[in-house]
Structure formats: structure tokens, C-alpha cells
A and B are shown apart, each in its own frame.
Chain A
């Protein structure tokens, strides 16, 4: 097992926090929520980042991404009946309804031609199958520069 039980608990806490609030938990929320020390939380965050389970903002312990969720606004808002989440990319804009098993709608613009694009999921099916999604980086290089990816 790559992750310890504590690291797994921290990871799942982060996901649940994203689901409940559409935001990343500050480290204080993690320490309070799991009754662990700040040092313990930081160690878990670093361990999770080292295995690509999440991404921290540079030189900090602030969570940037827990795929498919983004802690910062992006061009891929994912509207649901409850909250609007931000996805890291077009793929992740479908990853959020996949992980939550929920209806969604994302309104963005084509990065190539700047035409408005709306796509989403209803009752487990795409609301439109038009269009394509572009991958700039092959999967084996996703983590070379995950912000660009």
C-alpha cells in the first residue's frame, strides 16, 4: 500500500470537503476535522502530492487540485443542482459528474476557435455528443507540468 491509513483519511477528507463546499479545505479544517496535528497534516499532504494524489500550490501547503476538482476558478465551471465546482480541464469537467454521479452543465469557450461550448451530463448520459476534447500532453507526461496539462 502506498498510502498510510492517515494519508488515506486526509485524502478522502479533502475530497469530501470539495464535494460539500466546492473549495479545498484549508489545513486548519483538516487538522480540526481529523483531530491531527498540523505537522501530521502537512506530512500527509506532501506524501499525497508525491504520489500524484493531489497538487499543492507552489511552495505552500494550500491545495490546488484534487482531480477532477480545482481549488481555483478555471475556464471549466461545472454547474450542478447544488454547487458550481471548478474542473481543471475539459476532461475533468466530465470527471466531476462521473465522480459525483450527478447531472452537470459546463459552459466554456473552445480554446481553439473561441466559440461558446456547453456540455454536460443528465441521467448518466451526455447532453450533447458534439465536439471534441483536446489533450495537449500524452498521459505518460501528464505530471511533468500538471498545471499546463
Chain B
């Protein structure tokens, strides 16, 4: 699956900055799906399931 560099940059900005917070916890599947959906990463490939 390929995505544009612009989409990957948008994903990076949503995915990574919270890692520097002391109370960071792994993202839930629901949170991950919300991030993907928000930048148009949809379909079976981007489905994380339950």
C-alpha cells in the first residue's frame, strides 16, 4: 500500500508527538482507527479491527 508523502507527514504529526508525554500509553485500536480515518486512510488495509 502506498500513501503520499503529504499523508505520511500528516500521520506522523498525529501519531508521534504524544510520545514525549510522561503519561503516554499505547493507542487503543479505536484511537488508531480515528487517526487513520481523519486523514483518509480507509479500507481493509487500514482497518485495525476490534
A binds B: yes
A133 pairs with B3, CB closer than 8 A: yes
Residues of B within 8 A of A90 (CB): 8
A132 pairs with B12, CB closer than 8 A: no
Residues of A within 8 A of B48 (CB): 139-140
A101 pairs with B45, CB closer than 8 A: no
Q: A51-B26, A53-B26 are in contact. Are A99 and B20 (CB under 8 A)?
A: yes
Binding site for A on B (CB under 8 A): 1-6, 8-9, 11-13, 15-17, 19-20, 22-26, 32, 36, 44-49
Minimum Cβ distance to chain A for residue B50 (Å):
10
Interface of A is mostly: mixed
Interface string of A56-95 (1 = CB under 8 A from B): 0000000000011000000000000000000000110011
In the complex, whether A35 has a CB less than 8 A from a CB of chain B is: no
Q: A15-B19, A98-B16, A98-B17 are in contact. Are A140 and B5 (CB under 8 A)?
A: no
B9 pairs with A94, CB closer than 8 A: yes
Residue contacts A-B, CB under 8 angstroms, 30 given = A1-B23, A1-B25, A8-B22, A11-B24, A12-B20, A12-B24, A15-B19, A68-B12, A68-B16, A94-B5, A94-B12, A95-B12, A95-B15, A98-B15, A99-B19, A126-B6, A128-B5, A129-B4, A131-B5, A132-B3, A132-B5, A133-B2, A133-B3, A134-B1, A138-B44, A138-B45, A138-B46, A140-B47, A140-B48, A140-B49
What count of chain A residues pass the 8 Å CB interface test? 35
Binding site for B on A (CB under 8 A): 1-3, 8-9, 11-12, 15, 51-53, 67-68, 90-91, 94-95, 97-99, 101, 119, 121, 126, 128-135, 138-140
Residue picked from B19, B26, B32, most chain A C-beta under 10 Å:
B19
Interface pairs A-B: 10 shortest CB-CB: A98-B12, A132-B2, A94-B12, A99-B16, A95-B16, A133-B8, A95-B12, A135-B1, A98-B16, A98-B13
